[in-house]
Structure 1
């Protein structure tokens, strides 16, 4: 009996690992968005920041890959090409689109668009037969409803304010020292809101495609550190070339001991290095939809952090939207757990047959 309880507790801990990893990922993205907001107020060139971000990521991940994955599979031209596509989709395109949209709109608005990633990922996964709609089953209906609830909560969080609610009050406002620079940013936001929305949508599509592509890459090259290092190296080359075409003023490339250096190091080491490694691991363990469904939680965390650190106000719409986001997230997590339970309860012959069918579908 004791051994059975021990095995049960071990399986619970193993099942919670991907959830805990994704919570760490979303918490790390909160720090990135706050620092991005500060850099936007300072006026750093965004393409240069993305280039430095991928450079720092490559500088971290390459030594880790050489130390911890010495027996990795041999690199082939096919794997290198996959690394090039992975860097293009998940880093160069997604990051440049996202940070440009953040500069044209606002941090909350850009994060809100990121919450379309679960829907986009689900639709793409349906096209590639990586997910099943199964609308006739209880889990299938719950999955669809959960995604719609997350999106609905995101829309309420973003577009509906309602009464102002004071839960806590702090005197911390990291933007106070840059308040004299806000006028031109607001004017630019008003004129280019549509362009910022299009760029935010392009960023979401690019990241959703990267999540789908990661499923194939982690199967062909199951080395998290090495694949992330290869992706970072490819992305640093791509983003640096793009930044050199966009910015010829070398003063924009200088980094001092300020928020610019902190943001470049943080976004490179934490979000492009360690976080992408955790994300790739979770994609391999639970699939791209499981990872994408945590994005709405990031909006809730950014909203809370903004009230604490940027002196932004919390409204009734934020509370209602946050509750819906959590409810939708729980529903999708429940469906993924039920699907995993059903797969583990199937006979080995059925599992082998379904695995061979999925391999044929992915090759096509």
Structure 2
């Protein structure tokens, strides 16, 4: 039973990460065809809200927690963090690439782990092997992300149209530096978003409703930003058609599916477990880039991917062992309580 409980969130998070990589590629395509990042965020979240509203009522038709003003305030904060994360993240993708974006997202586990420890959602005991594995795995994953981002090395697989000129550092392009800073800001907002979402789910345990209200408030907030920024009305057009395809993909697979699955997993496993699947994104993006986009696969990508996966499994080992210890502790506490009850019964003369 325990393996099934862990296995379903693992499968769900792998699917969610694949969907997110596709979302980055589609978002890059829309912005490359003249759609601003904040307009893309508005459209995708508005369509996702329309999809999630009937789905949430259908999925939670038997049990819906009461909606209070305090919960609405939490939803507003969740939407605000998500709005800033999406706008800065898509801007970073526009100035760089989906591959760099997935690499930078590996900063989220470390930031989330630090915030989770600060808010006492996770325990940190450096004498414990589980805490050591999670801490070391987080550091190793972040190191692997930086290897993929800043070190290329010689090319291993290259499309025919690409020239073989191995550059060692990507920092030679100023746009990548701007994109890196924007993506780093995205990671900070996303880490805070994970912590707030975990708190919201404790107060309002209805996953699809949480995702709906999140998308709804992001729509309102990004709409206000669109009005403030103004700009050309042609930016709101769905011509060329790639803009419409990108918005539909973002709403269906990016917001409705990816957020719905990750929220469901978070409700059952916690924010650190969800964030630790971010290293898989860089592996997926490299595979998609080489096979479908004609990108070059460099030695740095291979080394970084190996380091990332090593750190990922280190954290998964720590989480799995921690879960077994929790089950054993609960069993011992239950057995101890039963013994106390039996002892009390004997002392009172009951059979």
TM-score bucket of the superposed structures, by smaller chain: 0.7 to 0.9
**Contact 1:28-1:270 within 8 A present in 2 as well:** yes
Q: Max radius of gyration: which structure?
A: 2
Map of 2:77 onto structure 1 = 85
Post-superposition shift, 1:200?
1.2
Map of 1:102 onto structure 2 = 93
Post-superposition shift, 1:350?
5.4
**Contact 2:104-2:187 within 8 A present in 1 as well:** yes
The number of aligned residues is 324
User: How many Å separate the matches in 2 of 1:69 and 1:87?
Assistant: 21
> Residues 350 and 198 from structure 1, CA distance in 2 versus in 1: closer, same or farther, beyond 3 angstroms?
farther
User: How many Å separate the matches in 1 of 2:59 and 2:96?
Assistant: 41
Mapped pair 1:321 → 2:304: yes
Post-superposition shift, 1:106?
2.5
**Contact 1:146-1:329 within 8 A present in 2 as well:** yes
Q: Residue 152 of structure 1 is aligned with which of 143, 152, 156?
A: 143
**Contact 2:28-2:90 within 8 A present in 1 as well:** no
Q: What SS is found at the alignment partner of 2:297?
A: coil
Post-superposition shift, 1:243?
1.4
Map of 1:183 onto structure 2 = none
Mapped pair 1:204 → 2:187: yes
Map of 2:341 onto structure 1 = none
Map of 1:264 onto structure 2 = 247
Mapped pair 1:289 → 2:257: no
Mapped pair 1:238 → 2:230: no
Post-superposition shift, 1:300?
1.3
Q: TM-score, normalised by structure 1?
A: 0.84
Map of 1:74 onto structure 2 = 66
Q: Which runs of 5+ in 2 are unaligned?
A: 163-171, 335-351
Q: Residue 44 of structure 2 is aligned with which of 43, 48, 53?
A: 53
Map of 1:121 onto structure 2 = 112
User: How many Å separate the matches in 1 of 2:192 and 2:313?
Assistant: 24
Post-superposition shift, 1:56?
1.0
Map of 2:134 onto structure 1 = 143
Post-superposition shift, 1:137?
1.4
Deviation string 1:130-189 (CA, Å, 9 cap, x unpaired) is 11221111111111111111111111111111221128x699x9xxxxxxxxxxxxxxx9
**Contact 1:33-1:302 within 8 A present in 2 as well:** no
Map of 1:226 onto structure 2 = 209
User: How many Å separate the matches in 1 of 2:94 and 2:119?
Assistant: 34
User: How many Å separate the matches in 2 of 1:154 and 1:29?
Assistant: 17
User: How many Å separate the matches in 1 of 2:198 and 2:247?
Assistant: 28
What value does the CA root-mean-square deviation take over the aligned residues? Answer: 2.0
Q: Which runs of 5+ in 1 are unaligned?
A: 1-9, 174-188, 352-364
Deviates more, 1:237-246 or 1:191-200: 191-200
User: How many Å separate the matches in 2 of 1:348 and 1:85?
Assistant: 38
Deviation string 1:331-360 (CA, Å, 9 cap, x unpaired) is 101111111111111136959xxxxxxxxx
User: How many Å separate the matches in 1 of 2:304 and 2:59?
Assistant: 42
Map of 1:164 onto structure 2 = 155
Map of 1:358 onto structure 2 = none
**Contact 1:282-1:291 within 8 A present in 2 as well:** yes
**Contact 2:34-2:235 within 8 A present in 1 as well:** no
Mapping for residues 35-50 of structure 1, pairs under 5 Å = 35-50=26-41
**Contact 1:149-1:324 within 8 A present in 2 as well:** yes
Q: What SS is found at the alignment partner of 2:155?
A: coil
Post-superposition shift, 1:279?
1.1
Q: What SS is found at the alignment partner of 2:121?
A: coil
